[in-house]
Amino acid sequence: MPILIGMVRTARFTEDDFIEATMALVAEGGPAAATMQAIARQVGAPTGSIYHRFESRAAVLGAAWNAAYASFVGALAPLLHSGRPREAALAILPWSRENARRARFLLLNEPVTLFEDTPPPAPLRQALERLEDEFDAAFRACVGACGEGDLREEALARAKFLIFDAPIAILRPHLMKGGTLPPFAERMIAELHAGMPLA
């Protein structure tokens, strides 16, 4: 019996190709730049091929957001769980350097802006909720450990500022310009933690 060659076709474009293209477009031009046509063009694929993998623009944006956020959580959550808030804040710097596109996509945008027209499909929303719960548990564990169990509003607000808000505010202007992160950023973050300790 003859062997039929070429009957099984390998997909030329993967979900990850479209996700990375979406991040690149949003990172450079904001959410409006990531139309389905533009994403396909960025990949070099026909527009129809993206619809074989994602049912809508909200779906590919949701998948991109979850991928970037999961990477961020993966870098910081272990440090938070081990009660190391300063190291967690500082970890945002190497993560941003090593994941420049994801950093611009994640740290310069908000889900409310990305999904102002249509929310992502339910499975993606549920996946994001799981990531948020995981990150919140790590954050609260860190605050509780550093503040001897103090989870009052002030303690949580102080920790959020020191670990997330201040470092991201320091980085944001440089992320917007797309340049290299400044060498003084690490010193500024360390000085903030020294001058206003978590506990």
Residue 103: is its pLDDT beyond 90?
yes
Is 7 inside any structural domain?
A: no
Amino acid at 37: Q
**CATH for 76:** 1.10.357.10
Calpha distance 65→114 (Å, rounded):
9
Calpha distance 182→184 (Å, rounded):
5
Angle, CA of 175, 177 and 178, to the nearest 5°? 60
Is 6 inside any structural domain?
A: no
pLDDT digits (tens, 9 = 90+) for 123-154: 999 999 999 999 999 999 999 998 767 788 98
Calpha distance 96→98 (Å, rounded):
6
Query: pTM score, two decimals?
Result: 0.90
Q: Give me the number of domains the chain comprises.
A: 1
As a residue count, the chain comes to 199
Is 3 inside any structural domain?
A: no
Question: Which structural domain range is residue 186 located in?
Answer: 15-195
